[in-house]
Structure 1
Amino acid sequence: MTSMYSHAHIPRWAADVLVSLAVLGSAFVPAGEYARVASNPAGVLIAVAATLVLLPRRRWPLPVLAACVALFVLAGALGVLNPAFSLATAIAVWNVAIRTDRRTTLVATALAAFVLVGTGIAVTATELLDARIVQYAAVIAFAGAAGDAMRSRREYIVAITERARNAEETRESEALRRVAEDRLRIARELHDAVAHQMAVINLHAGVAAQALPDRPTDAQDSLTTIRQAAQAVLREIGTLLAVLRDDSAGRPRPPAAEIGLGRVDALLADFARDGLAVTVSARGAGTRLPAPVDTIAYRIVQEALTNAHKHGAGHTAELRISYGSDSVDIEALNPVAFHVFDPATDAPAGHGLVGVAERAGTIGGTVEFGVRPPDTFRLAVSLPISSAGTDAPADIPDTGPPAPARISAPTSVPDPAAGAPS
């Protein structure tokens, strides 16, 4: 990610050349009776040494500052003080400020200023407030403040750049998460829309093929059922596609058809017409459920009866619905063909039971399924009522990943020849 604050930097070698020229050049600038470096070999050597000492300042900022201060003291002791030495020390202080923390900068700046002022007083034999002495402290303090300001600005730029990068990554991850959740929701809705009707079509297609030669009336009835089931599938898919293609951009939509346990009687009538006899028992009926819970409960009942119709052995099923004060419990049982359970090979196939677990998990529900001896497949779901608000939309709530299903330890499972529950 390219920062909006990026700018061109001077190459290090160019910066070193400029610093060296500045320090050496200032060594030959007259600065009063105590600055005669050009005519003093010792002063020239110390100025060259100060220039060389500054070269590794990026790697060793504090040792370089200590060396520059020592060279300033040496120049004062030899009587060759010159702006070159105070300039070299100021550059070292600035380097420390941009490469260390503020506390280190304050301590290093104060010590350097103290040594330079003390050396100046000792060499010039003047008072503390003399202009020649004050300039040492001013130059060092300014260098430390400038370096600290530059370091703070760099840290600020790094911080806001990192914040922008994190925000961009968060937006991308949130978008990917929403896409994944939408895919799961669409897959569940599509499965609910077509699974039962396709099972009906498959069943009656087989009946029609067998009855056509000898029982044309039964074949005609089966074909009529197939046509009705196909029309229902088309209606469901059309409704789903209309929602997916909706580009209302937040404008109010027409209210969707309400789906809930109140439509179970019509669902049972459909299954009865298709040849599945369902025995229903309900306790605490009449309890008003929040829309998300009601929708999920209906879809789970639909999936349970679809599995019983597709994989059941006796074309019968039992449905138990229990309404409690804080949960609604659904239990579906149906006979199946069975064999000895082998955990290495016997596992639920398809996506129906996975969808049941995902739907229940969106509101904190739990799912258990397995085969009870001798030959009964059981699906039990408990949906909490309090976790879903009454103002939530009727669609499946988008509240995070579903809770995993708890699979009871069966002793037998459906015969693979008859098909595994989906």
Structure 2
Amino acid sequence: MSEQSAVDVHSPAAEQAAELATARKDILRIATAGSVDDGKSTLIGRLLYDSKAVYEDQYAAIERASKGDYVDLALLTDGLRAEREQGITIDVAYRYFSTPRRTFILADTPGHVQYTRNMVTGASTADLAIVLVDARKGMLEQSRRHAFLASLLRVPHLVVAVNKMDLVDWSQEVFETIRDEFSAFAARLDVPDLTVVPISALHGDNVVSRSERAPWYQGSSLLHHLEHVHVASDRNLVDVRFPVQYVIRPQSDAFHDYRGYAGTVASGVLRPGDEVQVLPSGLTTTVAGIDGPRGPVEQAFAPMAVTVRLADDVDVSRGDLLCRPGNVPQATQDLDALVCWMADEPLRPRQRLAVKHTTRTVRAMVKELTYRLDVNTLHRDLEAGELGLNDIGRVKLRTTQPLFVDDYNRNRVTGRFILVDEATNATVGAGMLPPHR
């Protein structure tokens, strides 16, 4: 029996993960995207307001600033002066709110094509993406681009919120047309979980509670779906990956024999007594113990931050990786990746950059630009000679030292990296390693 088939969602690790999530209110990371004037900021403001995450003085301030008959809840999220002046979202803003069942971290990402890099940043760690569609306009190019980016970043759950249904008299026909068109497009992208909800963010219909204005809609409200969507099974409990971030060696008489390796579990489950292999040295040893913030723990799984103690005194430093001897990532100096370019200066072949992968940083050179991808049409431009700002393309890199990688669709932590300009130390690109490299 393979190691993968031996682990399931009913394993002790999965059960403990569910218990911990319940005890500390499971965290759901959400990324939002929508075209201009689809009402995305209003929807987020509605979620914040209806979940009691808005202070009275905040509400009073936006009430005074609002124009018209309704309180402009979008002012709760469009915090930049340029956003308020233009009526659009520019930067990625993280908002936090909670219900008795779950805590939410919401990345409000811009919908404009010139801010594609911002959406990639916000969606790279998301469990769920909300794509807004204006019921009057239907699916637009931007709607397809947002769905494609969510699929590209392997966001497991996608929710299409068909907003402004009140402006089409809550027409069932309009909703079903958009739903069917989006479902057909999502089928081409291999979206594993798609939910379509008709809403009115301005009035709050179907946002927190079911609306009587859509008796033909039998699904749940948006917030109810966010509270109950199952994300525990999305975690990879099979492949043990523990990138070492820091070596803890206290200079104290009480802990003179203590040596621990701190980091965040990327995937898999670690327990005391487990045999592990250290990369790149290849040495094997045993886990002597695992320490959490409040003391020793019996097992560690993603995304827990822990300190691992090993039975043998082996050479382990920052950038090394702990895994199982029979389940190791690919060691390679050749990266064939999809890269989103985030700098004004284009990416070109022969360019030299730094690659930061988990806790390991190496130098690299761009060997080849295979193609540039049009995220609106999915067309591949094989003649492209460079990647400009917000472009996405297939790029081949050669690193000076090996990296220990997995396919992005199997492991979103070890399957991604960032590109750094060595002169300015600025992040200039984000890469994902697709299968069949």
- Fold conserved between structures, TM > 0.5: no
Structure 2-normalised TM-score? 0.19
Q: Which has the higher helix share?
A: 1
Which structure ranks higher in relative contact order (CA pairs < 8 Å, sequence separation ≥ 6)?
Answer: 2
Q: Which has the higher strand share?
A: 2
